[in-house]
Amino acid sequence: MIWVVTVVVFIMLAAALAVLFLPNMIAAVVASAVVSLCLTVIFAVLKAPDVAMTEAAIGAGLSSLILAIGLKRLGYWKTDSIDKVKAGERHD
């Protein structure tokens, strides 16, 4: 179990650093979802199933959804290739 925890903690910290330093905002949001997922695993390991469920539903799910809406509204939702296809729908 201890190796599982070690690996998960390191993934979590790497993702947390990625949240701060990735230049692309979409990637940052995805990284924060990864942090939440790792936390879910940790809570499950800690025998806290209620908290794990909440973290999965709220931290990884709802919170990421809210942040994704934020990305869209703030104009960070830009992936070059897709934008060319859907020309005209670009948000600024």
Partner 1 sequence: MNHFFTVEGILYFGAISLSIIGLFGLLVSKNLFRLLLSLVLFEAGANLVLVLSGFIRNGIAPIFLDGNSGAVMNDPVPQALVLTAIVIGVGVQALALSLIFRVKKHYGSMDMRTIRSKLEREIAENAGVTPPGSNEAPAPVKLIEGENS
Partner 2 sequence: MTKYSALLFISGLVFLLMVITGLLPIFSDSHTPMLVGKAILEGAKDQVGAANVVTSVVLGYRGLDTLGELSILFAAASVVGLVLTKSSFNKAASANNDKHDHHDSGFVAVNAIDLIFPLLLVVGMYIITHGHLTPGGGFQGGVVLAVAFSMLVIVRPRRASINHGMVSIIESFAGVSFILIGVIALFKGQSFLQPLLSHGEFGSLWSAGTLPLLYLAVGLKVGAELAGLLLALNSDEVVD
Residues that bind partner 1 (CB under 8 A): 1-2, 5-6, 9, 12-13, 16-17, 19-20, 25, 28-29, 32, 35-36, 39, 42-43, 45-51, 54-55, 58-59, 62-63, 66-67, 69-71, 73-74, 76
Contacts made by residues 76-83, CB under 8 angstroms, sequence distance 24+: 76/25, 76/26, 77/26, 79/26
Q: Should residue 62 be labelled a site residue for partner 2 when binding is judged by CB under 8 A? A: yes
Question: DSSP for 36-60?
Answer: HHHHHHHHHHTT-HHHHHHIIIIII
CA atoms within 13 A on the CB side of 81: 0
Among 13, 24, 73, 82, binds partner 2 (CB under 8 A): 73
Q: Which residues bind partner 2 (CB under 8 A)?
A: 49-50, 52-54, 57-58, 61-62, 65-66, 69-70, 73
